[in-house]
Each structure stands twice: as structure tokens, then as C-alpha cells.
């Protein structure tokens, strides 16, 4: 990778991160105290967009597929859950090395996967020789570093009260497999969907919100007959790819990677990662996994509770295989932002301002856009126009996420709305006072049409 390409990638990342803070998508956690590493707060627009992603995913799973129900399991669970699942053993630990000189820590597996190009091959050679890629200092021997976040329950911080923040949401689903099966009168195959926070004490969190210590997952666990596992694996992989395409991700920016057998988790029969082409490279945003029967059989053995499934005929009893779709809500939001971010040289709006200005547009799918409709009075010093604009705002705000904006020139306000991905802008002008019509402007096509105010609600429902 040449220096110009690196600079371009870095610039694009810097611009996206800057936009996120400037426009209220994402802020550094505890910023006024210098920040808290790898933790981020989602601002007014960020939380709206993230909620939209979760809503679209939830509806996709629970409304458009048969036999999938929801769950919201507790973040805190018995430590026995994590012991049985293998999270407290070496299986859920990264190998850590630390430079004795600069004290920077590295994951051993990341050093070993450094690409072989002119610059990085030197770093790779240094890693093999146990030298620091940063300062050439001596590296410590690798040691296991468990990723579970420990906490305490109750008034006394002793080992008897120790537990863990969940490292993944799926274990709560397995704990409730039998409860859901019986209470909802379900039959195999069926799925349980859940959205929730997970926590991992990552050694090297990086790339903005891509790798964090506190993150949100959207997971669906599909329980099926072992004989049907391969069929359902292929089905869910195709369904998940299709979901991203429908929400605006270009096919050329998505690819799949089948994890080699030697790299599979100890319980996995098969795993395919869905990768997105971020500015910093191809990275996983979702995993499709065939977890086999390891989870239910192992929890059955350790808990003493029979989690086997008996077919209706009463003859065939087995532990269901699990096909898992695991999505990072934060990572997918980051991918949608990167995909939507565009710059237009010279501007798109006819104004008296310089045409050399670069305009930013977030071409977010309308289902994901944090603001659906902006209400813009042409001028703010005309009482009739602003009064009418506020009436339109009050008319629409109960059914659509709207923003009222009267600050600055109309051209600047259009650009501001384009920059946050607002799908439609409604402009109230002098003609509105005469004929009760307003201008509807589409973010992507720039097309404008005059619509009667009495018809605007039904038009928006049609378009949105």
C-alpha cells in the first residue's frame, strides 16, 4: 500500500469520525475527563440510527420469518454458566505480549497475521524475533489474558460474590431454551432472537467503534434437527447477506470468509464470516455459525437439567444443533455510515456561496436515516411562514422523526440535512401562505415537488 493510499484511507476515517462527533452521532465516553478508552456514547442522531438498525433487524427476524420469538436475558448470570460454556478456561483468552521498553501490548495472533508487504514484513520479522514493531524493544513471553469482565454481587467483594458481565448474549438464550420451548409450545425448528449488551476486556481495542469493550449484539439462535443443519446454515447465510443488500450495502463491499477448520472454535462445526470493506480493510460484521449440539448438551451435563428434545412421535430424542447468526449492532452501524458517506465537489445546492465547497451526503437507506423529515421555513423573520412551518412540524412529529430547522440560509440547511442523512426536506415559503402547498425535496434525487399540506402525511407514509 503506497503512502498516498494510506493517507486517503486515514483522511476518510478522520472525516467520518469528525462527522460523527460534529453532528451528534457518536461521542467519546467521559470526554470531559479525558475519555475512557474504547467506550463510546451514541448521541441524539446515533441512538436514533442504532435503534432503527435494531428495529429493522428485529422485524426481519420476528415478523418475516416463521417460528422465531424474542428474549431479553439478564446481563448477570451464575458464574457456573461461564464455567460450563468454557469462557473461564484458556479457550476464551487471547495471548498477550508486552514491550519491555514502551510497554505497548499486542495480541500475539495479530502480530502473526501482519501482511507481507515491504513495510509490514519488517514488523512481522520483528514479531517472530520477539521484538516490538513499535520501538524494537524486547517483547515479553506470551501469556494468556482472559477476556471476561469480572464484577461482584452483594456488599462484600470476595470470591463468593464474584460473577461476570456476559461476554456474549447467546448463553442467556441457551439458559432459557427449555422455558421458551414449553411456554410458547414450539416445535423444532425454531429460533430465539435477542438484542443486548456484551462486554469483553479487549487487549487492543481500535478502529473507532469497530472493536470496543462494551458493545451490542443482535443474535438469533436457530434450533434444528442435526440432519437439517447444513440446509439451514446455507439458508441463513443467504438471508443475512440479502438483509445488507436491501439496506443499501453495495455487493462489492461485502464478501464471505469461511473460517478454516484449524481456526474454528472448539465447539463449531462450521463458521462463515460476513466481511465489510471498511476504510481500514476487510473486517467482520457478522458471523454465521453451526455450533452443533455442544451448547445444549454441555449445559445439560453440567446443570443436571435435561435439555434434549423429544420428537412428537416420542421415539427420537436428541440435542438440537444450533445455527447462529451473530451481528454487531455497533459494527453494522459503522458499516452503514461508511457505505453512506459521500463527498460532492462543488456543491449540489444553488446558493450565492462559493461553489468550491465540498458537500457531504449520508445516503442512508430511508429505514435507517435518524431523521426522516426536516421542516424548513424559507426565512425565519416572517411570522406567517414560521408559524405555518411549526404547524406542519406539530402535524408530523407524532408519526415521523422530524427536525425543525430555521438557523442559517436555506442552502446551508439543505446541506446540513444532507450531511446527517435526512431523507426528505419540507420547505415552507411565501407560496405556502397563498395556496397552502409546501416543497418536498428528496435527498438523493434532488427532485422537488409541491404538495398540499393536507396531503403531506399520506405522502410521507407512502414514501417512508
For the segment 399-413, what is each residue's pLDDT rounded down to a tens digit? Answer: 999 999 999 999 999
In a domain, 345, yes or no: no
Phi-psi region of 460 (alpha: psi -120 to 50; beta: other; left: phi over 0): alpha
For the segment 357-372, what is each residue's pLDDT rounded down to a tens digit? Answer: 789 999 999 999 999 9
Percent of the chain with pLDDT over 70: 87
In a domain, 157, yes or no: no
Identify the bridge partners of residue 71 per DSSP, sorted by sequence position. Answer: 194
Q: Averaged over 285-291, what is the pLDDT?
A: 98
- Give the cell for residue 400: 415521523
Does residue 452 share a domain with residue 329?
Answer: no
CATH of residue 362's domain is: 3.40.50.800
Q: What is the pLDDT of residue 103?
A: 67
Does residue 293 share a domain with residue 232?
Answer: yes
In a domain, 51, yes or no: yes
Asked if the model's pLDDT at residue 426 lies above 80, the reply is: yes
Query: pLDDT band at 57, cuts 50/70/90?
Result: very high
Give which of 329, 375, 322 is closest to 217, Cα–Cα. 329
For the segment 74-132, what is each residue's pLDDT rounded down to a tens digit? Answer: 999 999 999 999 888 755 556 677 787 876 767 666 666 654 444 445 455 545 566 78
Give which of 178, 210, 433, 213 is closest to 332, Cα–Cα. 210
Q: Averaged over 53-77, what is the pLDDT?
A: 96
Between 201 and 226, the higher pLDDT residue: 226
Gap between the Cα atoms of 103 and 88, Å rounded: 26
Between the two ends of the chain, the Cα-to-Cα distance in Å is 42
Asked if the model's pLDDT at residue 351 lies above 70, the reply is: no
In a domain, 31, yes or no: no
Gap between the Cα atoms of 285 and 275, Å rounded: 6
Does residue 310 share a domain with residue 422?
Answer: no
Q: Averaged over 19-30, what is the pLDDT?
A: 96
Asked if the model's pLDDT at residue 353 lies above 60, the reply is: no
* Average pLDDT, rounded, for the chain: 89
If you search the block for the grid coordinates 416543497, which residue do you land on? Answer: 439
Is the distance from CB of 420 to CB of 371 less than 8 angstroms?
yes
If you search the block for the grid coordinates 426565512, which residue do you land on? Answer: 379
Phi-psi region of 33 (alpha: psi -120 to 50; beta: other; left: phi over 0): alpha
Does residue 100 share a domain with residue 181?
Answer: no
Does residue 292 share a domain with residue 380?
Answer: no
Q: What is the pLDDT of residue 347?
A: 63
Ranges of beta strands (E only) in 368-423 are 373-377, 402-404
Does residue 292 share a domain with residue 190?
Answer: yes
Which residues contact residue 6 at a Cβ distance below 8 angstroms, ignoring those fewer than 6 apart? none
Does residue 332 share a domain with residue 359?
Answer: no
The residue from 278, 310, 337 where one domain ends is 337
Between 375 and 99, the higher pLDDT residue: 375
Give which of 193, 183, 94 is closest to 143, Cα–Cα. 94
Is the distance from CB of 291 to CB of 325 less than 8 angstroms?
no
The pTM for the full model equals 0.88
Asked if the model's pLDDT at residue 246 lies above 90, the reply is: yes
Does residue 264 share a domain with residue 231?
Answer: yes
The residue from 304, 337, 370 where one domain ends is 337
Give which of 301, 308, 309 is closest to 80, Cα–Cα. 301
Looking at the structure of the chain, the number of domains it has is 3
In a domain, 282, yes or no: yes
Q: Averaged over 158-181, what is the pLDDT?
A: 91
Asked if the model's pLDDT at residue 275 lies above 90, the reply is: yes
Give the least confident one: 77-86, 148-157, 435-444: 148-157
Structural domain that includes position 414: 352-463
Does residue 375 share a domain with residue 446?
Answer: yes
Query: pLDDT band at 156, cuts 50/70/90?
Result: confident
In a domain, 439, yes or no: yes
Does residue 138 share a domain with residue 73?
Answer: no
The residue from 303, 337, 371 where one domain ends is 337
Query: pLDDT band at 137, cuts 50/70/90?
Result: confident
In a domain, 11, yes or no: no
Does residue 179 share a domain with residue 320?
Answer: yes
Is the distance from CB of 63 to CB of 191 less than 8 angstroms?
no
Does residue 391 share a domain with residue 285?
Answer: no
In a domain, 35, yes or no: no
CATH of residue 206's domain is: 3.30.930.10
Is the distance from CB of 355 to CB of 346 less than 8 angstroms?
yes
Gap between the Cα atoms of 157 and 162, Å rounded: 7
CATH of residue 99's domain is: 3.30.40.230
Amino acid at each position: 500500500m503506497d503512502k498516498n493510499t494510506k493517507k486517503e484511507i486515514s483522511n476518510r476515517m478522520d472525516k467520518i469520525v469528525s462527522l460523527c462527533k460534529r453532528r451528534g452521532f457518536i461521542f467519546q465516553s467521559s470526554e470531559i475527563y479525558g475519555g475512557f478508552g474504547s467506550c463510546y456514547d451514541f448521541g441524539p442522531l446515533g441512538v436514533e440510527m442504532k435503534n432503527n438498525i435494531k428495529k429493522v433487524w428485529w422485524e426481519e427476524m420476528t415478523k418475516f420469518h416463521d417460528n422465531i420469538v424474542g428474549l431479553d436475558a439478564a446481563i448477570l448470570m451464575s458464574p457456573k454458566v461461564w464455567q460450563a460454556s468454557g469462557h473461564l478456561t484458556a479457550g476464551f483468552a487471547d495471548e498477550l505480549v508486552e514491550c519491555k521498553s514502551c510497554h505497548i501490548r499486542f495480541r500475539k495472533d495479530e502480530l502473526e497475521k501482519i501482511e507481507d508487504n515491504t513495510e509490514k514484513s519488517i514488523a512481522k520479522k520483528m514479531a517472530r524475533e520477539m521484538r516490538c514493531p513499535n520501538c524494537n524493544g524486547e517483547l515479553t513471553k506470551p501469556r494468556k489474558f482472559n477476556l471476561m469482565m469480572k464484577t461482584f454481587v452483594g456488599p462484600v467483594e470476595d470470591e463468593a460474590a464474584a460473577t461476570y458481565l456476559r461476554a456474549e448474549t447467546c448463553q442467556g438464550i441457551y439458559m432459557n431454551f427449555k422455558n421458551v420451548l414449553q411456554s410458547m409450545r414450539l416445535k423444532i425448528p425454531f429460533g430465539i432472537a435477542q438484542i443486548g449488551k456484551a462486554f469483553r476486556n479487549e487487549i487492543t481495542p481500535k478502529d473507532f467503534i469497530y472493536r470496543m469493550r462494551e458493545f451490542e449484539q443482535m443474535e438469533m439462535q436457530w434450533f434444528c434437527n442435526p440432519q437439517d443443519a447444513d440446509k439451514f446454515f446455507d439458508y441463513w447465510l443467504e438471508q443475512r447477506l440479502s438483509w445488507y443488500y436491501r439496506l443499501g450495502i453495495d455487493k462489492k463491499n461485502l464478501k464471505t470468509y469461511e473460517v478454516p477448520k484449524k481456526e474454528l472454535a472448539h465447539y463449531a462445526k462450521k463458521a462463515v464470516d460476513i466481511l465489510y470493506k471498511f476504510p481500514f480493510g476487510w473486517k467482520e460484521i457478522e458471523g454465521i455459525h453451526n455450533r452443533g449440539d455442544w451448547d445444549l448438551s454441555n449445559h445439560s451435563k453440567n446443570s443436571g437439567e435435561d435439555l434434549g428434545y423429544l420428537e412428537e412421535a416420542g421415539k427420537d430424542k436428541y440435542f438440537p444443533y444450533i445455527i447462529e447468526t451473530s451481528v454487531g449492532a455497533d459494527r453494522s452501524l459503522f458499516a452503514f455510515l461508511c457505505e453512506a458517506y459521500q463527498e460532492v465537489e462543488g456543491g449540489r445546492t444553488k446558493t450565492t456561496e462559493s461553489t468550491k465547497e465540498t458537500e457531504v451526503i449520508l445516503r442512508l437507506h430511508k429505514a435507517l436515516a435518524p431523521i426522516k423529515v426536516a421542516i424548513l421555513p424559507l426565512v425565519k423573520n416572517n411570522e406567517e411562514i414560521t408559524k405555518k412551518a411549526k404547524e406542519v412540524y406539530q402535524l408530523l412529529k407524532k408519526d415521523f422523526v422530524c427536525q425543525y430547522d430555521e438557523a442559517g440560509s436555506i442552502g446551508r440547511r439543505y446541506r446540513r440535512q444532507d450531511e446527517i442523512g435526512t431523507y426528505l426536506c419540507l420547505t415552507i415559503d411565501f407560496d405556502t401562505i397563498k395556496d397552502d402547498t409546501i416543497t418536498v425535496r428528496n435527498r438523493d434525487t434532488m427532485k422537488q415537488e409541491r404538495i398540499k399540506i393536507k396531503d403531506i402525511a399520506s405522502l410521507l407514509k407512502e414514501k417512508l
